[in-house]
Amino acid sequence: MAQQLDSATREALLTRVRFYRDLGLTDFYRRDVSAELLAQLSSGTGPDSEAPFSTTISSPSQEENLKPPRTQLPTAPEIAAIVPAAGRAAALQIIRDEIGDCTRCALHVGRNKIVFGDGDPAARLMFVGEGPGADEDAQGLPFVGKAGQLLNNMIAAMGLKREEVYIANVVKCRPPGNRVPEQEEGATCSPFLFRQIDVVRPQVLVALGATAATWLLGVRQPLAGLRGRVHAILGTQLIVTYHPAYLLRDPRQKKEAWADLQIAMRELGLKPPGKE
Ligand code: URA
């Protein structure tokens, strides 16, 4: 017997379907939902790993679930439909429009510009930092200050141009005094980052520093335990390395960071410039 969806879930599903239509995705397949799964969904305990455009991803109550209680970190949501490369810029713009003139968390109070992200919407390689600093806040672009210059050098060392990668942050507004984003701030903003990753679909993601690694992996662990290997999230491979600002403070660690970037290069099939 067909099950009735409650109005909130129905509305959320419609919103998600409209979002996909805006992206040019028009074919949707409906699966029967078991009574057991429906019961889990309505109690908020259901697995969301099943549905291609899962009811659990888009309902407002589930979006709320992406904002974890203060003591928990969210895990990356399930992968949604792949946006064709030609539609990715528009898909990112839809996310940017949804963010709007954001006042969802306290960081909006001191910001000048929202720093959404920058680069190739269909990049094979994406970097994720912590949050904008003063230069980024002034220009509305990620990694344009001193740490950004070092990141540009790291990208060039990999044989790539900055325009060929995509760069974003865990939070899109500058934390006062460049402090680490608070749990509430990261929890509020990171779902937009996850959606950006979902659209760009990079083959390799590089987390720059502990904050990015923590929010991407949903675990709070020392960087040392996360570096040097490939993690799998959102259908991409994640490599964790030092934040460029840390490398500016302790340049001896650049060798270690380079070793991490070489893992990324190996996964991308890249050779350093001059070694083709
Ligand atoms: N540090 C970050 O983490 N992100 C930026 O965009 C700039 C500096």
Domain ranges, residue 184: 85-268
Q: Residue 122's domain is classified under what CATH number?
A: 3.40.470.10
Strands 236-241 and 230-233: antiparallel
Helices and strands (DSSP H and E) totals, the chain: 12, 6
Contacts (Cβ under 8 Å, ≥6 apart) of 266:
none
Residues 191 and 57 in one domain: no
Is residue 1 in a domain? no
Of 130, 132, 139, 113, the C-alpha closest to 174 is 132
Contact 255, 157 (CB under 8 A): no
CB 133 within 8 A of CB 145: yes
46-to-2, 36, 42, 65 alpha-carbon distances in Å: 19, 9, 8, 12
The verdict on 215 and 244 lying in the same domain is: yes
Report in angstroms the alpha-carbon separations of 259 from 71, 161, 208, 231, 252: 33, 19, 14, 16, 13
> Do 92 and 61 fall into the same domain?
no
Residue 10 — pLDDT band, cuts 50, 70, 90? low
- Tell how far the Cα of 101 is from the centroid of ligand 1, in angstroms: 20
Note the pLDDT tens digit of each residue in 240-270. 999 999 999 999 999 999 999 999 999 999 9
Do 127 and 256 belong to one domain?
A: yes
**Same-domain status, 99 and 226:** yes
Counting the structural domains of the chain, the total is: 2
Of 107, 112, 143, 170, the residue with max ligand 1 atoms within 8 A of its CB, to mutate for a pocket test, comes to 143
- Pocket of ligand 1, candidates 243, 247, 248, 249: which has the most ligand atoms within 8 Å of its Cβ, to mutate? 243
The answer to whether residue 3 scores a pLDDT higher than 60 is no
pTM of the model: 0.75
Do 155 and 194 lie in one domain? The reply is yes
Question: Do 93 and 55 fall into the same domain?
Answer: no
